[in-house]
Structure 1
């Protein structure tokens, strides 16, 4: 082979080898796994110190209904000729039952009619009841003293009574005798009927309950805490909806001779603020939520923000890593009250992730 041809062949082979080597190197680089990025610093979870209210509650089982039944007996003389139906509501000035075919209307007050009112100048708390009801029914009765015992049966009261009797279909006498009205202490609903037409009026006639639905519950004397009339509570319905309510009565039990006083029970009555909130329920088990402890307008953080110190006590960690010593107060619903130098509303703190 001539010398020039050998040189050309060597060059061609060299080029092919170089191309092959370059391709292999490129293939190696293309198939090499990517280099991992250096790890970033871990992020921290933070929360803000806020001002708010804390409260702890306790749930006590109760029963929603119309409350305890109270028996009603008639007064005076005569035979029952008509009785109310269960569910009937006593209304001021309207009859609830009939005696000898005469209607017996309802008045509201604290003192039942215990004598016949006919002589001008008669004074007493029963006169006050008559004056109050006639006035609320729209009749002029004259001046009513603040002291019930000084309320006077005057000709003005008698005239008002006569006008009311006429409008109500009663004998227009201007006087009022025992048994001619039924005095109840508050609006009521008929819960059951015991008497029958033909019974004497002095027998047990029927029972009544409060007109509005109430919640009744029994609470141990030792667990009642500060429960008293007017205490706000929440009533949890069977559907878990909570409605605001208030305690209206707390009946204190006498100490037991057979056990410690904290085993005694208190009968508590709770009334919803808005009767419409429970109007769809006649009777149902409920839970009454009572506030046992509360704090208002305090600085709070999540409990997870607290760091227990080796020397005792707690601190909050700032995002910079600095520890801020705090004093803890009330705990409630995964939050805690905190105070301390430098602890202010809006302070950002680290919480455990």
Structure 2
């Protein structure tokens, strides 16, 4: 027969309630009593009935993280950061990969995880402003990214425009004037590509450099292969280039490959900077400068906001929704000549984050 709390209580000489307090980490238990209960648990091999506890507390101790694609280094590293942040709050993370398809992303908001997890951290790519009604959900939700603003949820995003402007300004400060972009999305009005391209154009305007559409390389999904293909097309077009701003680090790695294949010296002939500051860019040759968007802050704040919503369920009037924009920075490495070969890295610019109270776009949500 399975060992029960009654068995543990009888061996430890305490009540069943005291055993429950110990296994549920209730703080107000005398040390000597806790020791006796723990010894009884170990001796008898008691295992808590997690399903019964979940039914009683209406908690699962799990949260969902839904991201587009774990093969992209940024999302893989974000997932790692979220897992570690969740563990510090006593939560386990269920990972859902949506493949950036509208159907899969809509399913995340359908409530399919309500019985399995206590809340959802969601990074959409296919959904947009017209899908705001889908975000009016009955479970705790935190939204990541730039595709959807004004949803009835807490939101952790990046300062994409300012960070891209700072990255481009840094290239200008290095004396570069023919700065190409790798990763633009034609016709995109919202999302990372549009915002980062806007920051790039702002920096050019401030520097008095005319915008040249021939320097904008469009790409589909932001992978190494598309970065290499886009960089190759730009080089083969014959347009003069002395610097490249890749809109994420995967494409920066692909662009570096294409530059090497054509024997273009980096950073001598062409300086290169990426975005996301993933671990891979520290081990390329040369190492790649990048925008660090504050990934650890993004993960920590997203988990904090979600846990607060979970804890506050049914506790009266909910708190106002928050939008958090973490600090970002430009990390200079060999690909921009900020450090010599083997010289490590240095932070060359910092964009301070902010926290805002936001109102959801009720009219659009209401349909």
The two structures have a TM-score, normalised by structure 2, of: 0.23
Q: Which has the higher helix share?
A: 2
Q: Which has the higher strand share?
A: 1
User: Computing the radius of gyration over CA atoms, which structure comes out larger, 1 or 2?
Assistant: 1
Q: Which has the higher contact order (CA 8 A, sep 6+)?
A: 1
TM-score by length of 1: 0.24
